[in-house]
Structure 1
Amino acid sequence: MYRYDDFDRQLVHERTEQFREQVKRRLAGDITEEQFRPLRLMNGVYLQLHAYMLRVAVPYGTLRADQLRQLGMIARVYDKGYGHFTTRQNIQYNWPKLDEIPDALLDLAKVEMHAIQTSGNCIRNTTTDQYAGAAADEIEDPRPYCELIRQWSTFHPEFTYLPRKFKIAVTGSPNDRAAVKVHDIGLRMHQNDAGETGFEVMVGGGLGRTPFVGKTIREFIGKNDLFSYLEAILRVYNRFGRRDNKYKARIKILVHEEGIDKIRELVEEEWAQIKDGSLRVDDAEIAHYIEQFAPPAFETLSDDDADFERHKSENRRFANWVRSNVIEHKQPGYAIANVSLKPIGGIPGDATDTQMELVADLSEKYSFGDVRVTHEQNLVLPHVKKADLFAVWSELDKADLGTANLGYVTDIISCPGLDYCALATARSIPLSQRISERFGDLDRQHDIGELKIKISGCINACGHHHVGHIGILGLDKRGKEFYQITLGGDASQDASIGKIAGAGFSEAEVVDAIESLVTKYIDIRESGERFIDTYRRVGMDPFKEVLYGDR
């Protein structure tokens, strides 16, 4: 994993002390909240419904054990004993006191972490596949390129005040687990006809009030030229992106209004002027960063472990966890263990200080001190021996972290909603809890199969409802909470935006509406079909009929 150099450490410490002075000025009344707003946003501090919120960057979703342990300490000392993992692989603290936030940032800096550029109209935290460096289907570990993007984009003088926030995601696998097609820039690693490894570049994806799937602007860009090409895209966006209307300021609107061919022409023009300059990264520098992410010291093991198989046969709950939460590893004898932060009836993405510390301890003992955060609000131990999986699950299970529901109906993505967010128009968390409880029976979840439910408390779509197989959008209707349902969304390599089913449902009706959809799916599915497959085969009408036929 990447370790800070002297420059990184100096930068983060100086930024923390600068922010400390800005906080002092705000608390003394020397600047107003409006004047303070851009200063705090560039340091990851929001003003939420009830209190300030601190968002901490987890670059490309990768954590060391000591960093996760420190996040647990921050939750205990500066918050109410928990943190909330987000769909950008970050962590948020909902209750810090403003005067203590600089101290929290200083404690984060001790383990090479910060909150820089986790908000504001800048290039945000780059995200990637949570299984990077471990997945059996991976072409190459994308994290060295994510780290180079992080270094290129941090405090980039030309892109500090973009027309709007800007998000980049990278995948090193043909099976997209990073939702690259719904980002401002999505990068998909693949090989060209000459056998060279590079990236397909997509632009103009995004959710919010005008959701779009990104369009390919270049089929292939070599590794050496990636960063100059990204620079060219950002320059075109910075120059032509709308600044008169924040709702039309994202690059997706520019791509939609001008067309991908025109944007490609502008980007290629810009790139021609800079591609042979200082942003061309040579092979030696790329090799240096690849070395930073060298694989751990795996043992030579057989892929068949007798104790692992015995535990599966003797313990049904462990076998269920393996079935849903354990993924194939590229190294024989190892596995990828997913830690669900979605206990039945719990708050999606929340983890207590003691839970974070336990996962940190388990990562040190069983996973080379490596932990990942997923964009679906779970954690991952990426390098666990199959022989150790039962011991890992046993410890997780004691801490309410052993839920066997990855990819199932209770593995819900949810934003904080009206319980915390000043922008929200409805609550998300209580609804996610009620759906989880309704479908909590594991045998029923197995029968339903893969079904991704995503809930947003407002049109800003922080819960990614547009790309849920079933998406739920909370709305305010004459002072009451209503929920609009979308169907057919998908964030994978076959990305699609869900379609609105019809009129919204009241808080009292919406869980029954989801029940009706699931029942209909089971009734009409063909062998082996997931919910999304059935929807794509039969379309909206059969589902619309069960939702509105008697209304």
Structure 2
Amino acid sequence: MYQYTEFDKQFIKNRAAQHRDQLERNLAGTLSDDEFRPLRLQNGWYIQRYAPMLRVAVPYGEISSAQLRVLARIAREYDHPTKEVFDKAIGTQATWGTTHLPVGYGHFTTRQNVQFNWIPLAKSADVMDLLATVNMHGIQTSGNCIRNITTDERAGVAPDEVADPRPFAEILRQWSTLHPEFAFLPRKFKVAITGATEDRAATRWHDVGLYVVKNAAGEVGFKVFVGGGMGRTPIVGTVIREFLPWNQILNYLEAVVRVYNRWGRRDNLYKARIKILVKAEGQRYIDEVEAEYREIVEKDGAPHTISQAELDRVAASFVPPAITDTAQAASKSVAIPAERQRDYERWLQQNVQSHKNPALRAVTLSYKRLGQAPGDADADQLDTAADLVDQFSAGEARVTHDQNLLLPWVRQEDLPALWVAASHAGLARSNVRLLTDMIACPGGDFCALANARSIPIAAAITERYQDMDELHDLGEIDLHISGCINSCGHHHTGHIGILGVDKDGKEWYQVSVGGSDGSALSGEATPGKVVGPSFSAGEVPGVVEALLDAFRQHRQGRETFIDCVRRVGFETFKAAANSARLADKHEELAVLPKAAGYARDAQEA
């Protein structure tokens, strides 16, 4: 893992101290809420539907066992609503002190961050001080700036890797964190990078997507995509450079973002993302970027050229760790009972991936199970994960794009012991990449922008599909749920996508099929198509079932769902979905309370 320099450490401590001073002035009434708002957002603190939300940065998803333990402590000691907030959220439905609310949890996000939803703002400075003890913070997790850089969770260990993208991601983090020109862009700006032949980071759906490639001479460089994004207008990124030498990536991104900063819409929030500029201007945008880049190189002397020495310095933090035999004794004593052998083999198939080192494996801990929102991890689970990471993965884990946790340094002979330990913790369910390994945003239970709840829909589908034989027979399916058009649940890229919409003040849901994030399973990145008018909450599980029944009817051999949709055609699945309308009614969800006062914060999310 990258080791923060003394500059980094002191910077984080200074930011925490500044936040404490700003918070104390705000609580004392000498710094107004409007004045405090942009300051707290710069440190990842939002005010959402009922309570503050903290988004903690996990740059390129890499996290240590020590950091997991601090997150567990925050969940246990701080992630609890006050009685006032509890009454506001629950009303008369429950008594103060009950466990009705999902409190004491961290939430893994699709952009490799961790969120907390109930920390009182008055405690925020204490939490920031605690995060700083393990080099964590909320910088670049909010606001109209360059956000947390994301990458493939198997970066550095995947056999299909052209080059490890983590050193480049870290250099991009350092460049963007304190860049004065890019602190107030027209809108938030997200960068993803992959070094593998398979895109496991949804790279083309980002404002900038970077693919590490090699040219005919074997030189390493980048294929550059610009203008991807979801939201109201889902657009796949456009190639603007087929090959850029690796040492020029900062100079080139300087040009990309400068042109956006200059011409991006600031008069309309919904047209402010770079995707709108690229779509509107097309080749003109690309030409301006190239002209700006030439000026940076020729007139300014290419000030951000990465030297080989600097790349080597950063890359030295990403050498493979020393793999000890701390789990060896336990591994030797573990034998999988015959009645559990099938469960273990399924886990090997779904949760265990190959590794550059033939003696090692990358293993995913599943945070998708009945009774728990997708991506949620309570304090005990976070502590348990830290223990597993120490024992089996050299103290390092990765937050994944699919809201799970990956252990990248597991010895092959330790797999039985890891499976047993993860099973006891409820983290070894062999549903990775299957239907119940769904992506879902927190939705209307927390977010002020949400039109509908995501979590109850995810729970209803998860409850219906608990049979592991059925899940494995259905095969790999991406199901993504968003509570609003902002697409934090990436519904556009789901093989089955579910979007919460407002209809006469009630919660309804649009369903789409055929989306793709660009991975090997999904094929070329593309948005899904909506199957028709929206469905009530009670109808959604039946609609999903109807889509899967159509898949079973038309499937050939072991064909995947997405391949079947593409072969058979959209209209067949649209008809199946609409035939399920009103066939499976359940109790409707209550109308969401309005939270207009918090909408500005939510729009920053």
Same fold per TM (> 0.5)? yes
Name the aligned partner's letter for residue 95 of structure 1.
Answer: W
Instruction: Please say if 1:252 is aligned against 2:275.
Output: yes
Q: CA deviation at 1:19?
A: 1.0
Name the aligned partner's letter for residue 383 of structure 2.
Answer: E
Q: CA deviation at 1:308?
A: 12
Q: CA deviation at 1:550?
A: 7.5
Q: Which residue of 2 aligns with 1:441?
A: 467
Name the aligned partner's letter for residue 71 of structure 1.
Answer: L
The 1-side partners of 2:392 and 2:313 are apart by 27
Q: Secondary structure at the match of 2:403?
A: coil
The 1-side partners of 2:29 and 2:421 are apart by 49
Name the aligned partner's letter for residue 254 of structure 2.
Answer: E
Instruction: Please say if 1:278 is aligned against 2:308.
Output: no
Q: How does 1:100-111 map to 2 (within 5 A)?
A: 100-111=123-134
> Alpha-carbon deviations, 1:223-244, whole Å to 9, x = none?
1101111111010100010000
Q: Which residue of 2 aligns with 1:116?
A: 139
Instruction: Please say if 1:321 is aligned against 2:347.
Output: yes
Name the aligned partner's letter for residue 309 of structure 2.
Answer: A
Conserved 8 A contact 2:334-2:417: no
The 2-side partners of 1:236 and 1:550 are apart by 48
Instruction: Please say if 1:471 is aligned against 2:501.
Output: no
Q: How does 1:14-33 map to 2 (within 5 A)?
A: 14-33=14-33
> Structure 1 335/315 Cα, relative in aligned 2: closer, same or farther at 3 Å?
same
Q: How does 1:330-345 map to 2 (within 5 A)?
A: 330-345=356-371
Q: 1:427 aligns with which of 453, 463, 467?
A: 453
Q: 2:550 aligns with which of 520, 543, 546?
A: 520
The 2-side partners of 1:422 and 1:470 are apart by 25
Conserved 8 A contact 1:345-1:434: no
Q: CA deviation at 1:32?
A: 2.9
Q: CA deviation at 1:462?
A: 0.5
Q: Secondary structure at the match of 2:538?
A: coil
> Structure 1 465/308 Cα, relative in aligned 2: closer, same or farther at 3 Å?
farther
Conserved 8 A contact 2:542-2:580: no
Q: CA RMSD in A?
A: 1.7
Conserved 8 A contact 1:78-1:100: yes
Q: 1:532 aligns with which of 541, 556, 562?
A: 562
The 2-side partners of 1:507 and 1:444 are apart by 24
> Alpha-carbon deviations, 1:399-435, whole Å to 9, x = none?
1111110000000100001101111010000100110
Name the aligned partner's letter for residue 292 of structure 2.
Answer: E
Q: Which residue of 2 aligns with 1:366?
A: 392
Q: Secondary structure at the match of 1:170?
A: strand
Q: Which residue of 2 aligns with 1:293?
A: 318
Conserved 8 A contact 1:308-1:386: no
The 1-side partners of 2:418 and 2:427 are apart by 10
Q: How does 1:452-531 map to 2 (within 5 A)?
A: 452-493=478-519, 494-531=524-561
Name the aligned partner's letter for residue 244 of structure 1.
Answer: D
Conserved 8 A contact 2:160-2:198: yes
Conserved 8 A contact 2:531-2:578: no
Q: Which residue of 1 aligns with 2:55?
A: 55
Percent of counterpart pairs with the same letter?
51
The 2-side partners of 1:27 and 1:51 are apart by 16
Name the aligned partner's letter for residue 468 of structure 1.
Answer: G
Q: Which residue of 2 aligns with 1:156?
A: 179
The 1-side partners of 2:225 and 2:337 are apart by 42
Q: How does 1:370-381 map to 2 (within 5 A)?
A: 370-381=396-407
Q: CA deviation at 1:40?
A: 1.2
Q: CA deviation at 1:344?
A: 2.9
Name the aligned partner's letter for residue 117 of structure 1.
Answer: Q
Q: 2:169 aligns with which of 140, 143, 146?
A: 146
> Alpha-carbon deviations, 1:246-300, whole Å to 9, x = none?
11000000000001x2121111101111134220011111111111101123589
> Structure 1 324/312 Cα, relative in aligned 2: closer, same or farther at 3 Å?
farther
Name the aligned partner's letter for residue 521 of structure 1.
Answer: F
Name the aligned partner's letter for residue 25 of structure 1.
Answer: R
> Structure 1 344/323 Cα, relative in aligned 2: closer, same or farther at 3 Å?
farther
Consecutive unaligned residues in structure 2, runs of 5 or more: 81-103, 326-330, 582-605
Q: Which residue of 2 aligns with 1:346?
A: 372
Q: Which residue of 1 aligns with 2:434?
A: 408
TM-score (normalised: structure 1): 0.96
Instruction: Please say if 1:210 is aligned against 2:233.
Output: yes
Conserved 8 A contact 1:62-1:371: yes
The 1-side partners of 2:219 and 2:22 are apart by 48
Q: CA deviation at 1:199?
A: 1.0
> Alpha-carbon deviations, 1:72-107, whole Å to 9, x = none?
111112114211111110000101111111111111
The 2-side partners of 1:523 and 1:307 are apart by 46
Name the aligned partner's letter for residue 99 of structure 1.
Answer: A
Q: Secondary structure at the match of 2:288?
A: helix
The 2-side partners of 1:345 and 1:434 are apart by 10
Q: CA deviation at 1:31?
A: 3.0
Conserved 8 A contact 1:308-1:390: no
Name the aligned partner's letter for residue 84 of structure 1.
Answer: H
Name the aligned partner's letter for residue 386 of structure 2.
Answer: A
Conserved 8 A contact 1:312-1:319: no
Consecutive unaligned residues in structure 1, runs of 5 or more: 301-305
Q: How many residues align?
A: 545
Q: Which residue of 2 aligns with 1:303?
A: none
TM-score (normalised: structure 2): 0.88
The 1-side partners of 2:411 and 2:580 are apart by 53
Which shifted more, 357-366 or 149-158? Answer: 357-366
> Structure 1 193/397 Cα, relative in aligned 2: closer, same or farther at 3 Å?
same
Q: CA deviation at 1:545?
A: 1.3
Q: Secondary structure at the match of 2:221?
A: strand
Which shifted more, 394-403 or 447-456? Answer: 394-403
Q: Which residue of 1 aligns with 2:206?
A: 183
The 1-side partners of 2:580 and 2:63 are apart by 51
Which shifted more, 197-206 or 489-498? Answer: 489-498
Conserved 8 A contact 1:308-1:387: no
